Structure 1
């Protein structure tokens, strides 16, 4: 390959990496950024950041508020996210079911899958008793402190769980299960009854129930949950009712993904 072409390819790769680093600087905590912040966060020069941000704006990856001078994620990113979600079989199969469940129960209904050591929300619908002013779609969460996470790990062995997330975990509240023995006990309990629980483990005043979703091989590929404030969940009175409907709908999604109850999961539980 000619030397000039090599430089061109290398420079193009570097520009892509730099542009992506700018996009990654936008987070839930900081959804808007100034150019000066992007310079500080990425370590790139002012002129480089200004040039790349200008290109990203022209392509719709970021938008610019002329009045405040702040940049935020643009519609092109949202469009690409929609394409990615629509390619997910779990998302396609569960979207209407989760929406109907939220409407029926008046609670939040969520679908998540596991990405490495975290859960990733694919669907999020809110019922009248559990309103939110924001969507959970695209957000990540801890596996150990959520009902969804426990359901997603329900077909893993103790050794696999330890290799995945270790033996000690962050405590978000005094009720968070923060060690491997406690987590294994919680997962075993959930596996036995068909659904996992979360009671103020991630946030005060909130509860969640989650059931695993399996594909045709029997492997857990996603989880369905119902969640909301403690007052709306009313677990002392409604837990059995909620669990029955949750498991029923999770099974329906699994069936849509080709799962049959006689299927043997790829990894043995233990």
Structure 2
């Protein structure tokens, strides 16, 4: 038992070291890793040496700084390739980004946050980094609201505990009742929106993705700078595109339920729609 406990502690510490590289800084000194992982300097150095030998971190021979190694990409790729939502969403999301010229994101819920499975950037919304693997708050994003639509109001307060929700900008919804009302109204119209609630100057529209059980398995959004997303002129068309893309992914996941929440409201139906 003592040996097992020691081995588990070593694994936990090694995983903690790897996770510190996902907190915003891509290159770190040994002392940085020790501080962020709450480890002794010698322990951090030993763990980094072991991880380097395994290919999970790389050390710059000139600066001595450590960064995540390419072998972590192999693990991440294997995880994504095995994920059913990623498999169904990848091509659809890529096509949508090219079509609308904006960022297209797909995320799932992990406890109190959303987790980006993939993102593609259109020509009007370029990024110098990928969102895949990163997290964001549920209540301050269109994706997060779409994910929360699969949770009953009482359960949402367990997912997002506390009397108030964290504020990121003056437009962030911080009241549970206001968030419930926002989600209810968004379900009625078929899509979710977020305008400068997480970051000033940006907005997104999102729709839930459902699986064979009818539950909300993920969500898809289009996002970009306010000037590019141009909601006063593009909201109806973008919302329709988001709903169609989310519906296509849902069908690929086995969803066959009639009249689910992602269906077009009558006011948004195409005039040439044969239905």
Q: Of the candidates 111, 122, 138, which is equivalent to residue 143 of structure 1?
A: 138
Write the deviation string for residues 82-114 of structure 1: whole angstroms up to 9, x where unpaired: 111111101100000000000000000010010
Pairwise CA distance, 1:16: 1.5
Give the 4+ runs in structure 1 shifted more than 6 A: none
Q: Of the candidates 167, 173, 181, which is equivalent to residue 169 of structure 2?
A: 173
Q: Of the candidates 24, 32, 35, which is equivalent to residue 30 of structure 2?
A: 35
Given the alignment of the two structures, is residue 22 of structure 1 paired with residue 17 of structure 2, yes or no? yes
Pairwise CA distance, 1:124: 0.3
Write the deviation string for residues 9-51 of structure 1: whole angstroms up to 9, x where unpaired: 3332222122122112223422221112223333433333222
Normalised by the length of structure 2, the TM-score is 0.90
Distance 2:106 2:35 in 1: 36
Point out where structure 1 has 5 or more consecutive residues left out of the alignment.
1-5, 266-270
Distance 1:94 1:40 in 2: 39
- Partners of 1:217 and 1:264 within 8 A in 2: no
Equivalent residue number for residue 190 of structure 2: 194
Moved more, 97-106 or 74-83: 74-83
Equivalent residue number for residue 265 of structure 2: none
Superposed CA RMSD: 1.6
Given the alignment of the two structures, is residue 221 of structure 1 paired with residue 212 of structure 2, yes or no? no
Distance 1:211 1:231 in 2: 21
- Describe the SS at the equivalent of 2:15: helix
Write the deviation string for residues 178-210 of structure 1: whole angstroms up to 9, x where unpaired: 110110111011100110000010011111000
Write the deviation string for residues 108-132 of structure 1: whole angstroms up to 9, x where unpaired: 0010010111100001000000000
- Partners of 1:216 and 1:263 within 8 A in 2: no
Equivalent residue number for residue 241 of structure 1: 237
- Partners of 1:217 and 1:263 within 8 A in 2: no
Distance 1:216 1:240 in 2: 28
Normalised by the length of structure 1, the TM-score is 0.92
Moved more, 143-152 or 38-47: 38-47
Equivalent residue number for residue 123 of structure 1: 118
Equivalent residue number for residue 268 of structure 1: none
- Describe the SS at the equivalent of 1:33: coil
The 5 Å alignment of 1:18-167 reads 18-166=13-161, 167=163
Distance 2:228 2:130 in 1: 19
Distance 1:201 1:184 in 2: 16
- Partners of 1:212 and 1:222 within 8 A in 2: yes
